[in-house]
Amino acid sequence: MATVAATAERMTPTRNPWPGVVVLAFAASVAAVQNTAVVPLLPILQRELNASLTAVSWTLTISLLVSAVATPLLSRFGDMYGKRRVILGALALLIAGSVIAALATTLPWLIVGRVLQGFVAALVPLAIGVVRDVLPREQLATGIGVLSATMGFGAGGGMLLAGLVAGDYHMLFWVTTGLSVIGSLFVFFLVRDTTPAGGGRPDLAGAALMIVWLVALLLAISQGGTWGWTSAATLGVFALAAVVAFVWVLVERRVSEPLVQMAMLVHRGTVGATVASMLLGFGFFMSMTGISGFVQGPALRASVLQVGLYLLPSTLFMLVISLFAGRLMRRFAAASLVGTGSAIAGAAGLWLVFAHTGPADILVATSLMGIGLGVSYAALGTMAVEHVRPEQTAVAAGINALVRIAGGSTAGAVIAAILASLPGEHGYQWVFGVAAGAGALAAAFAFIYGRLNRDLAPAPDHA
């Protein structure tokens, strides 16, 4: 009886949960900063580290790749050992990776730092799980909306930060270290778990197989233009990715506690959010990386700081929309917001296909991108979990974050492949066109999902 009473006491909120939610939102924005801050630095890294553009692009790709694997793995650890403990662990890895990257003078060491930084992506689904545990049902949409929207704000802030440090990647990662330390201290003092840790075993075999097939897929996409798309090397690596992915699916379907629950990928309550999230992640990094590369090219010859300023409207719109996330979620269905935001984000890419000759064109596009992503991200977390049982929240949020990151990780490889075949302005038009198509498809899936699930009851309250 004493044990039951103690457990009930731990699960009963005894103080205002919102400071903890705000702290988690700050930590999520820091996690997003490290993902995008290296994007405008790729040409500088190429010069300072004496490496090819394809090689330095792995400083972005490898972090996203690690994020895709770490998100479900650490989400599972959160269920096993407690979400707060794993969040602090992920932030500790971010600090360590940032220090290594700040001290790095060679590409291999920089990549080591970026590998460690990638683990912090799991913070987002873990934070959503904490928020769902501590907030009452009527405030849940607001809490998840704030987390999701500030993540988008942090992604835009990373590009701006790279400009503010004048392209000095050492300084960039020292700043990231400082922000990570501050976030860790806030989480340590203000965030508490309200549900006891469970048991189980992590799916390490599934994680290893997932790494292999993702690396093979991205390697084939990024190097296909150099090796030749019909060469034995390219086709062989594609075949390896396909075979290992098939084995991975078989393993995940048979283990008792899989890294990725295949049934959740096609669950009626989550499949629309899953597809939309993957396409949004892909389109976001296509647009962000494409704009950064294009404006630093011969057309506009922008500095790294100017890249950040071009993307400032996007960052500001994401911030403003995050402040109104609660009102939006109370007034409109999550699927409708994701669909509308995706369409607006896609319009940004379409605009740049036809209008990209001056600063005003870029500013219009980044404004559209900020509005679209701000609206989409504010609702995406809720869309992913609103139709699943409370005990499935962490799994659903983790899968949603995983597919978004996986979509983003393929963007760099696709851009490299496009620009290798079509260098210059025409290649960037294709990049922006692909981003526009991704936004349109994400909107279509979100709207169709919303229509098909009107009769699907929302998940019951935790209480």
- Lookup result for tokens 């309250």: 461
Taking residues 184-189, what's their average pLDDT?
93
User: In which residue are the tokens 């279509």 written?
Assistant: 444
| CB atoms closer than 10 angstroms to residue 132 | 22
User: What's the pLDDT at 406?
Assistant: 81
Q: How many CB atoms lie within 10 A of CB 187?
A: 23
Share above pLDDT 90 across residues of the chain, in percent, rounded to a whole number: 29
Q: Read off the pLDDT of residues 46-103 as tens digits, 9 standing for 90 and up.
A: 888 888 777 888 888 888 888 888 888 887 888 788 889 999 999 999 999 999 999 9
pLDDT tens digits, one per residue of 384-411: 777 667 666 666 777 777 788 788 878 8
Residue type, 162: A
pLDDT 10s digits, 114-169: 999 999 988 888 888 888 788 887 777 677 777 766 666 677 778 778 888 878 89
For the segment(s) 15-192+204-452, the CATH number from 1.20.1250.20, 3.40.250.10, 2.60.40.10, 1.10.10.60 is: 1.20.1250.20
Closest CA to 95 of 184, 187, 189, 180: 180
| Average pLDDT, rounded, for the chain | 83
- Are 7 and 196 a contacting pair, CB within 8 Å? yes
Q: What is the DSSP string of 149-203?
A: HHHHHHHHHHHHHHHHTTT-HHHHHHHHHHHHHHHHHHHHHH----S--------
Hey, what are 305's tokens? 């700081």
Confidence of residue 429 (pLDDT cuts 50, 70, 90): very high
pLDDT at 1: 42
Give the pTM.
Answer: 0.78
Q: Where are the domains of the chain?
A: 15-192+204-452
